[in-house]
Amino acid sequence: MKRRTFLGSTIPPLIALSRYSRPARFRHARPVPSRSQLNWHRDELALFLHFGVNTFTDREWGDGKEDPAIFNPAGLDARQWACTAKVAGFKTLILTAKHHDGFCLWPSKLTTHSVVSSPWREGKGDVVRELVDACQAEGLKAGLYLSPWDRHEPSYGDSPRYNDHYIGQLTELLTWYGPIREVWFDGANGEGPNGKRQVYDWERIHRTVRQRQPEAVMFSDAGPDIRWIGNERGIAGDPNWCTMDPAAVPYAGADGPGIIEALQHGDPNGTVWRPGEADVSIRPGWFYHPAEDSQVRSTENLLALYRSSVGSNAGLLLNVPPNRDGLLSAADASRLDEFGSALRDLFVRDLAAGARATTGAGGVELILRNPQSFDHVVIQEDIVQGQTVALHSVEVREGAGWKTIAEGTTVGYKRVHRVPAVTASQVRLVIRSALAPPRISRFSLYLTP
Ligand code: FUL
């Protein structure tokens, strides 16, 4: 046992005991995050912006026959998106540069089905440029979603021809606008004209991103850097491992038995680091619909989303769709603002700061300076070293014994437990099972104001 004063965020590595020892052939073999993945973990929150012709047709999936003349977001102000996101604590903005309808929000040279053919800014506008500039001005990262499924492009379904077209569009996006930090793909793969099936060239897509934007993380069901969490409700699995068996989800859009479970939970024995991202909308739909103005999630609901995503070792990609003026609607913007303040107020003071911490192979024990009341417990592993905790509990001293107030499986980058408010002067984290000596970097206590 080691004793030391604990300042809330520095806990010495737990001492290895034989029960964590792994066979020699596994030692040092556990996957760890890349630098870009590590930064992605630490960012925690990204804003998703579904915007395009659907915003004007009131649809979720356009059919590709939309007249570009309908696209005219006269008041578009990407600075409003970026400022709102920043104040609420979001670090990245990801825009639908092209959704399934094929309408491009940038002046692609490979099609006229784009902003160029719209009345917006007299055909000289470029939403991607405005997004990137706004992110840069606010110190945020820009990300782009380029739907492989394209219901407008005539070459779609003629696989080699469309693949060239798609790589061409991707290359425009990755070379014209400076750093792009997340490239978001989905596996939607509808039929092409005459019922032809398009076979996407994922290997070439991934290679293109790596070459053009080596710092970017790529998201899809099948990663390769960030995996889909398996639902659009913002709920990570329990357990949720950052490691995965890449064969479990071989390509984006793969479906079949076991796939959703693999996405939800990852795999403790997985050979790649591929953490989950939970994409979820602040409204029922992904695109803006006036009829949903009264159905914006409450702050309480957003806090619950934070716990079930970031607080369950996943990233949160919250969709807030710009409206027909090209702005985040007032209700959505003020909800984001409230969410950001609520998070800040909740996590402003670590009640474990200054506690005396004893660490051992079995966990961390805190002796607080004074009895403290708390209702949130935050635990983090030092994931630079990989993810190891498989089962844990949080306990408070009660008389001569200990009372369990929270139990869970994995921790990973972050685990947030909300517990019924409790007052205690001794609190401990018990690691019941781990794959290797765990390195707990944070064990903090908070009280909802
Ligand atoms: C899915 C799409 O089909 C939805 O329209 C939406 O964009 C969602 C985030 O991804 O694959």
Position 5 scores a pLDDT of: 38
* Pocket flag, ligand 1, residue 186 (CB < 6 Å): yes
CA of 303 to the centre of ligand 1 (A): 23
Widest CA span of the chain, in angstroms? 76
Position 2 scores a pLDDT of: 41
Nearest CA to ligand 1 atom 3: 188
Residue 182 has pLDDT above 90, yes or no: yes
Contact between 342 and 307 (Cβ < 8 Å): no
For tokens 């897509």, the residue is 205
Count helices and strands in the chain by DSSP H and E runs? 9, 17
pTM (2 d.p.): 0.95
Q: Rounded to whole angstroms, what are the CA distances from 433 to 24, 40, 150, 427?
A: 19, 27, 47, 19
- The rounded distance, in Å, linking the Cα atoms of 168 and 208 is 10
Ligand 1: nearest atom to the Cα of 60: 5
Nearest CA to ligand 1 atom 10: 186
Q: Where are the beta strands (DSSP E) in 237-355?
A: 243-244, 272-273, 276-281, 315-319
Q: Rounded to whole angstroms, what are the CA distances from 343 to 25, 66, 296, 303, 320?
A: 43, 41, 18, 7, 18
Beta bridge pairs of residue 306: none
CA of 61 to the centre of ligand 1 (A): 9
At 413 the three-state DSSP class reads coil
Position 370 scores a pLDDT of: 95
What residues have CB less than 8 Å from 301, skipping those under 6 apart?
none
Position 208 scores a pLDDT of: 98
Position 193 scores a pLDDT of: 84
* Pocket flag, ligand 1, residue 286 (CB < 6 Å): yes
Position 20 scores a pLDDT of: 47
Residue 15: pLDDT band by 50, 70, 90 thresholds?
very low
Percentage of residues of the chain with pLDDT beyond 70: 94
* Pocket flag, ligand 1, residue 304 (CB < 6 Å): no
Average pLDDT over residues 368-375: 97
User: Which residue among 186, 277, 283 is best mutated to probe the pocket of ligand 1, counting the most ligand atoms within 8 A of its Cβ?
Assistant: 186
Contact between 218 and 225 (Cβ < 8 Å): yes
* Pocket flag, ligand 1, residue 182 (CB < 6 Å): no
* Pocket flag, ligand 1, residue 279 (CB < 6 Å): yes
CA of 96 to the centre of ligand 1 (A): 10
- Could you read off the pLDDT of 38-76 as tens digits, one per residue? 999 999 999 999 999 999 999 999 999 999 999 999 999
Position 342 scores a pLDDT of: 98
- The rounded distance, in Å, linking the Cα atoms of 367 and 345 is 24
- Could you read off the pLDDT of 190-231 as tens digits, one per residue? 998 878 999 999 999 999 999 999 999 999 999 999 999 999
User: Which residue among 226, 229, 286 is best mutated to probe the pocket of ligand 1, counting the most ligand atoms within 8 A of its Cβ?
Assistant: 286
For tokens 């739909």, the residue is 285
Ligand 1: nearest atom to the Cα of 186: 11
What b/e string do you get for 250-262 counting C-beta neighbours within 10 Å, with b at 16 or more?
Answer: eebbeeeeebbeb
Contact between 34 and 273 (Cβ < 8 Å): yes
- Could you read off the pLDDT of 237-270 as tens digits, one per residue? 999 999 999 999 999 999 999 999 999 999 999 9
Nearest CA to ligand 1 atom 8: 286
Ligand 1: nearest atom to the Cα of 279: 9
Residue 163: pLDDT band by 50, 70, 90 thresholds?
very high
Backbone angles phi, psi at 270, to 5 degrees: -60, 155
* Pocket flag, ligand 1, residue 447 (CB < 6 Å): no
Average pLDDT over residues 283-308: 98
Position 131 scores a pLDDT of: 99
Ligand 1: nearest atom to the Cα of 187: 11
* Pocket flag, ligand 1, residue 221 (CB < 6 Å): no
Residue 12 has pLDDT above 70, yes or no: no
Which residue in 72, 244, 308 sits closest to 318, CA to CA? 308
- Could you read off the pLDDT of 316-330 as tens digits, one per residue? 999 999 999 999 999
- The rounded distance, in Å, linking the Cα atoms of 216 and 218 is 6
Percentage of residues of the chain with pLDDT beyond 90: 92
Rounded to the nearest 10 degrees, the angle between the axes of helix 330-346 and helix 78-87 is 20
The Cβ of residue 435 has, within 10 Å, a number of other Cβ atoms equal to 18
Contact between 179 and 139 (Cβ < 8 Å): no
**Tokens read off for 71:** 């696209």
Mean pLDDT of the chain: 94
Which helix (DSSP H) or strand (DSSP E) does residue 171 occupy? Answer: helix 159-176
Position 210 scores a pLDDT of: 98
The Cβ of residue 101 has, within 10 Å, a number of other Cβ atoms equal to 24
In the chain, the amino acid numbered 113 is H
Average pLDDT over residues 11-34: 58
Q: Rounded to whole angstroms, what are the CA distances from 63 to 101, 112, 191?
A: 5, 16, 12
Position 360 scores a pLDDT of: 79
- Could you read off the pLDDT of 97-156 as tens digits, one per residue? 999 999 999 999 999 999 999 999 999 999 999 999 999 999 999 999 999 999 999 999
What residues have CB less than 8 Å from 392, skipping those under 6 apart?
363, 379, 407, 408, 409, 411, 415, 429, 430, 431, 432
- Could you read off the pLDDT of 405-445 as tens digits, one per residue? 999 999 999 999 999 999 999 999 999 999 999 999 999 99
CA of 185 to the centre of ligand 1 (A): 9
Position 402 scores a pLDDT of: 97
